[in-house]
């Protein structure tokens, strides 16, 4: 008799409009994966506020700007689908240095002229990480702790540096993974702190009004770029924005936030300004079916 596979685990947290996390919010530590892009975008905007960089300056000799990189409109490709990358990760190889990543996805070989399309690119956020580190003279982990996570009151979250950080996370499928393979970096922290991070960021606890407006202003994506339960989708500066809806349209919510996906778990952190006065939720799961996170997010956003 074949044993039934274990039921997927779902870890979640809800932050109400008051700014308080609900009592059932999960304190389990998970990799935040690409939600880290939102925090990198916040770092970049903070540096722009201080005059240490400009969003509309070209990045070195490249034809794209910092703003293009933040919005995935630079024309850069990505490494996620490359056989060399998948084989190296599956073998357990040491993460490639930045130069090796950029040799496989050269910034000179663009998919389209900057500003004339959309292509999700982890490599673009690798370049932003390098920019932040160059401007500040500090590692991304130090910058995030000092300028984003600390000011937002998130004491249990940090940038993952090695496999030992992943071994402390809740999903066994992430154990043994070297976070260096996530080339722009991934924060690990409690599910509840992920929800609090987005809620406090969008409430205005970190950025100026002008920076917050820029962070939220989306570029509309073509139909089909984001699958169900997305009905409309756009991408701003490190934030996804659009409408989630079930098949019958009986439940729907306009949201902004970011998805998160990597070996062993997937997740999403989203804020709905018109749900219960402004509710934020984070969901992380080892469920494999497409749309599982967004479906759970929509339920938490729309259930009293």
| Span of 46-50, 189-193, 231-235 with lowest mean pLDDT | 231-235
Q: Whats the size of the chain, residue-wise?
A: 304
Distance in angstroms between the alpha carbons of the first and the last residue of the chain: 42
Give the pair of three-digit tokens for residue 8. 């997927």
C-alpha to C-alpha distance for 5 and 122, rounded to whole angstroms: 32
Res. 24 pLDDT band, cuts 50 70 90? very high
Q: How far apart are CA 62 and CA 107, in angstroms?
A: 7
Helices 209-216 and 35-49: crossing angle, nearest 10°? 140
Which pTM was predicted? 0.95
- Note the CATH number of domain 10-302: 3.40.710.10
Of residues 250 and 138, the one with the higher pLDDT is 138
pLDDT of residue 5: 63
**By percentage, how much of the chain surpasses pLDDT 70?**
98
Rounded to whole angstroms, the Cα distance separating 76 from 78 reads 7
* C-alpha 13: how far from chain center: 17
DSSP code of residue 146:
I
Residue 224, pLDDT score: 67
Beta-ladder partners of 159: 187
Please state the rounded mean pLDDT for residues 138-144: 98
pLDDT digits (tens, 9 = 90+) for 184-215: 999 999 999 999 999 999 999 999 999 999 99
Using CB atoms within 10 Å of the CB of residue 75, give its burial: 0 to 12 exposed, 13 to 18 middle, 19+ buried. Answer: buried
Enumerate the β-bridge partners of residue 68.
Answer: none
From the centroid of its chain, how far is CA 209?
Answer: 22
Checking if the pLDDT of 1 tops 50, the result is no
pLDDT (tens digit, 9 = 90+) per residue, 253-298? 999 999 999 999 999 999 999 998 999 999 999 988 878 999 999 9
Query: Rounded to 5 degrees, what angle do the CA atoms 159, 162, 163 make?
Result: 120
**Element of type H or E holding 263:** none
The answer to whether the CB of 240 falls within 8 A of the CB of 267 is no
Q: Which of 207, 225, 224 is nearest to 215 (CA)?
A: 207
């Amino acid at each position: 008799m074949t044993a039934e596979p274990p039921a997927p685990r779902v870890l979640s947290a809800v932050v109400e409009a008051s700014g308080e996390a609900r009592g059932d919010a999960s304190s389990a530590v998970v990799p935040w994966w690409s939600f880290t892009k939102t925090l990198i975008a916040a770092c970049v905007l903070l540096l722009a506020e201080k005059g240490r960089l400009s969003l509309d300056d070209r990045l070195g000799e490249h034809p794209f700007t910092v703003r293009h990189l933040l919005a995935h409109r630079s024309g850069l490709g990505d490494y996620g689908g490359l056989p060399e990358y998948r084989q190296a990760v599956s073998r357990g190889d040491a993460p490639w240095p930045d130069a090796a990543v950029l040799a496989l996805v050269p910034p000179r070989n663009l998919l389209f002229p900057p500003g004339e399309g959309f292509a999700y690119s982890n490599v673009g956020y690798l370049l932003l990480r390098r920019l932040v580190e160059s401007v500040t003279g500090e590692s991304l982990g130090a910058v995030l702790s000092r300028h984003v996570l600390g000011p937002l009151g998130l004491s249990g979250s940090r940038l993952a540096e090695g496999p030992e950080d992943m071994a402390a996370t809740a999903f066994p499928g992430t154990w043994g993974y070297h976070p260096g393979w996530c080339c722009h970096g991934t924060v690990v922290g409690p599910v509840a702190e992920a929800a609090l991070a987005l809620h406090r960021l969008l409430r205005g606890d970190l950025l100026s009004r002008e920076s917050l407006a820029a962070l939220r202003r989306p570029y509309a994506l073509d139909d089909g770029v984001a699958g169900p339960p997305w009905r409309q989708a756009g991408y701003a500066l490190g934030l996804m924005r659009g409408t989630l809806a079930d098949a019958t349209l009986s439940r729907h919510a306009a949201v902004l936030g970011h998805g998160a996906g990597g070996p062993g778990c997937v997740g999403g952190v989203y804020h709905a300004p018109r749900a219960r006065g402004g509710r934020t939720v984070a969901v992380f799961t080892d469920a494999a079916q497409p749309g599982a996170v967004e479906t759970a997010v929509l339920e938490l956003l729309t259930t009293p």
